C-alpha cells in the first residue's frame, strides 16, 4: 500500500525581513515582493533541510511529493506555501522559487504572484525583459 504523507514546509526563521517593497507602500498584489529564504525544511517523514549549496538531487528527493513547475532546468517553482514570518504572508508571498547553479541551490526565495510572473517572463526565450537584461 503506497500512502503518501503530506509534506510540510517550514520556513525557518531565516527569512530575510527585507522585502523589495515596504508593506505600507503597496497593496499585496500591486508590486513584486520577494523574501530570501536561507533554510527550508521539507518534511515528509523526517526533515530534510534545503539551503544554498544543496545538490539538485537532494532537493528533488526532499520535495518529491510537491507539484513542481520548471521554468527552466535551473529554476523550480512550488506554489501554496506559508512562511513563519507574518510580513511575508501579508504580502501574499506563497510561491517558492529555487534557483540552481552548477547543480546546487544558488538561491531560495518566497515571492508573491507579481514577482513570480516577472521571474517567468525573464526566462522566456526572446522576451523583451530577457533581451534588456542581456544587453546590459
| Of the listed ranges 13-17, 45-49, 83-87, the one predicted with least confidence | 13-17
Domain contains 32: yes
Average pLDDT over residues 21-40: 71
The Cα–Cα gap between 96 and 112 comes to 9
Domain contains 2: no
Nearest-10 Cα torsion for 51, 57, 58, 60? 90
Domain contains 116: yes
Q: Give the confidence band of 48 by pLDDT, cuts at 50, 70, 90.
A: confident
User: Which residues have C-beta within 8 Å of that of residue 120, sequence separation ≥ 6?
Assistant: 71, 77
Kindly report, residue by residue over 74-96, the tens digit of the pLDDT.
Answer: 999 999 888 888 899 899 999 99
Kindly report, residue by residue over 103-124, the tens digit of the pLDDT.
Answer: 999 999 999 999 999 988 888 7
Question: C-alpha 121: how far from its chain's center?
Answer: 16
Q: Is the pLDDT of residue 18 over 50?
A: no
Domain contains 1: no
Domain contains 93: yes
Domain contains 131: yes
Domain contains 3: no
29 secondary structure, DSSP code? T
Q: Look up the pTM and report it.
A: 0.70
Domain contains 99: yes
Select, from the ranges 26-35, 36-45, 48-57, the one with the highest average predicted confidence (pLDDT): 48-57
The Cα–Cα gap between 36 and 4 comes to 29
- Own/partner pairs for 18-27, CB < 8 Å, 24+ apart? 19/87, 19/88, 19/91, 20/115, 23/87, 23/90, 23/91
φ/ψ of 105, rounded to 5, equals -65, 125
Give the structural domain span for 22.
8-135
Q: Among residues 59, 48, 43, 58, which one has the least CA distance to residue 108?
A: 59
> Structural domain tally of the chain?
1
Nearest-10 Cα torsion for 33, 38, 44, 48? 160
Amino acid at each position: 500500500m503506497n500512502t503518501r504523507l503530506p509534506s510540510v514546509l517550514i520556513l525557518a526563521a531565516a527569512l530575510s525581513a527585507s522585502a523589495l517593497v515596504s508593506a505600507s507602500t503597496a497593496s499585496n498584489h500591486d508590486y513584486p515582493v520577494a523574501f530570501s529564504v536561507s533554510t527550508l525544511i521539507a518534511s515528509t517523514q523526517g526533515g530534510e533541510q534545503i539551503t544554498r549549496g544543496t545538490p539538485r538531487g537532494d532537493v528533488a528527493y526532499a520535495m518529491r511529493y510537491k507539484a513542481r513547475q520548471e521554468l527552466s532546468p535551473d529554476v523550480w517553482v512550488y506554489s501554496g506555501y506559508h512562511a513563519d514570518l507574518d510580513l511575508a504572508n501579508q504580502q501574499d508571498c506563497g510561491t517558492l522559487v529555487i534557483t540552481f547553479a552548477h547543480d546546487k541551490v544558488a538561491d531560495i526565495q518566497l515571492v508573491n504572484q507579481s514577482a513570480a510572473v516577472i521571474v517567468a517572463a525573464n526566462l522566456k526565450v526572446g522576451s523583451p525583459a530577457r533581451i534588456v537584461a542581456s544587453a546590459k
